[in-house]
Amino acid sequence: EFDAFCDEFLLEYFSDDASVWNVFTIDSSAFGYVRPADYVPSWYYYEAYTEEDFKEIYEYYKEYKEDLTAFDTSNLSYTQEVSYDVIYSILESGSRYYNADKHFNPLMEIDYIDQFGGYVADFCDTVENYNFYSKQDIIDLIELTKSTDESFATYITFVKDKYAAGYAYSEFTVKEM
């Protein structure tokens, strides 16, 4: 039952993110992942969140955390304990970050965008660590690369939104973004 929960969580958490499936698994179908026929991968992009978005995401983390903590950990194997701890850490971190009742500032650290790399640097890391198991992996990496033309441009919008909200930005930050 716990292993099934872990697989379900992985399916839900990785969603249809081709780069994550590629880098962290060899055979995504072993976890039950079925790629949608019309799926075209794209890189992450900036989109402003609302307080309702934060609440919805927080509920997602909260519900999964409740399901996880309902397991009797005394019967788990060592590898299951490791899985439990990793999933708990992900859920705890997400719950803290997206707790809109305690804090809500959609422009602070949103979508991991900053002048020191953020998703731009992550793209370089992904390319460096990308695995080619099949022809589809090559096609996916080409699509991810093409999509950065649009997604990277949204990071400039992020800087503009933060600047408009009164956050100070140095020339260095703007230039690096």
Q: What is the pLDDT of residue 40?
A: 95
Amino acid (one-letter) located at 121 = A
Can you tell me the distance from the alpha carbon of 134 to that of 121, in angstroms, rounded to the nearest whole number?
25
Q: What is the pLDDT of residue 106?
A: 65
Other beta carbons within 10 Å of 20: 16
For residue 135 the two structure tokens come to 């022809």
pLDDT in tens, 23-51: 888 888 888 888 999 999 999 888 877 88
Q: What is the pLDDT of residue 137?
A: 93
Q: What is the pLDDT of residue 176?
A: 67
Please check the confidence at residue 165 and state whether its pLDDT lies above 60: yes
Rounded to the nearest integer, the mean pLDDT of the chain is 85
Q: Which single residue is written with the structure tokens 């020191």?
A: 116
Measured CA distances, 84 to 30, 60, 65, 104, 169 (Å): 19, 17, 10, 28, 40
Q: Which single residue is written with the structure tokens 């909200």?
A: 165
Measured CA distances, 142 to 17, 19, 110, 155 (Å): 14, 11, 26, 21
Q: What are phi and psi of 48, to 5 degrees?
A: -65, 135
Q: What is the pLDDT of residue 177?
A: 64
Q: What is the pLDDT of residue 72?
A: 95
Q: What is the pLDDT of residue 4?
A: 93
pLDDT in tens, 97-141: 777 677 666 666 555 666 666 777 788 888 999 999 999 999 999
Q: What are phi and psi of 41, to 5 degrees?
A: -70, 150
Q: What is the pLDDT of residue 108?
A: 61
Can you tell me the distance from the alpha carbon of 113 to that of 110, in angstroms, rounded to the nearest whole number?
7
Can you tell me the distance from the alpha carbon of 94 to that of 136, in angstroms, rounded to the nearest whole number?
31
Can you tell me the distance from the alpha carbon of 59 to that of 61, in angstroms, rounded to the nearest whole number?
5
pLDDT in tens, 48-102: 778 888 888 889 999 999 999 999 999 999 999 999 999 999 999 888 877 767 7
Q: What is the pLDDT of residue 113?
A: 66
Amino acid (one-letter) located at 30 = A
Q: What is the pLDDT of residue 65?
A: 94
For residue 92 the two structure tokens come to 């705890």
